[in-house]
Amino acid sequence: MNKREIKSFLIDYNSPAELDEKYQELIQKAKEAAQKAYAPYSKFKVGAAVLLENNEIIQGNNQENAAYPSGLCAERVAIFYANSKYPNVPIKAIAVTANTDDGFIKEPIPPCGSCLQVMLESEVRYENSIQVILYGENKITKADSIKQFLPVNFNKDMLK
């Protein structure tokens, strides 16, 4: 028997001012996207902003549906659009936040498992790490790779 310890690192900041200017802009774009979300059922409006290697920012937000499972999370809307528009451009970073009837969330929310899996695919596909910036009004959490959230993950190597 061998018990394996798996370590993961996340960095917390108190304010966007502590981050690089480009990431401050990315947070702003995620906030802007959240306000345009279509979330009449959950009233949880999520916004994502993807920074590409070509420096373009692509925004996305959750799109809900009366048939609940037909909706899609903000992160995947943004990533799939970015990948369809620029199939050869890696993703450098993604910022995510959410807006509710009480305003922007106070604590950051981690992306759901399906979104993490899609982000992981992008890291593997382009062989680059994605910076993840999770914005809450009281705290901003940053990770330097999706592997910080999914240290044990299913990827193309398992299909060999």
- Encoded one letter per residue, x for contact with ligand THU by CB under 6 A and - for no contact, window 58-97 reads ----x-x------x-xxx----------------------
Cα separation, 150 vs 100, in Å, equals 27
**Per CB under 6 A, which of residues 111..140 are in contact with ligand THU?**
111-112, 115
Q: Residue 70 or 88: which CB sits closer to ligand THU? A: 70
> CB of residue 91 vs ligand THU: minimum separation in angstroms?
16
Query: With left for phi above 0 and alpha for psi between -120 and 50, is residue 62 left, alpha or beta?
Result: beta
Question: From residue 62, how far is each of 45, 48, 91 by CA, in Å?
Answer: 7, 9, 19
Cα R_g (the chain), whole angstroms: 16
State the distance between the two ends of the chain, measured CA to CA, in whole angstroms.
27
Q: Residue 19 or 118: which CB sits closer to ligand THU? A: 118
Query: Is position 75 annotated as part of the catalytic site?
Result: yes
Cα separation, 99 vs 6, in Å, equals 33
Q: Residue 51 or 74: which CB sits closer to ligand THU? A: 74
Q: Are 34 and 28 in contact, with CB atoms under 8 Å apart? A: no
Catalytic residue among 75, 107, 123, 137: 75
Catalytic residues: 75
Residues in the site for ligand THU, rule: CB under 6 A? 39, 42, 44, 46, 62, 64, 71, 73-75, 111-112, 115
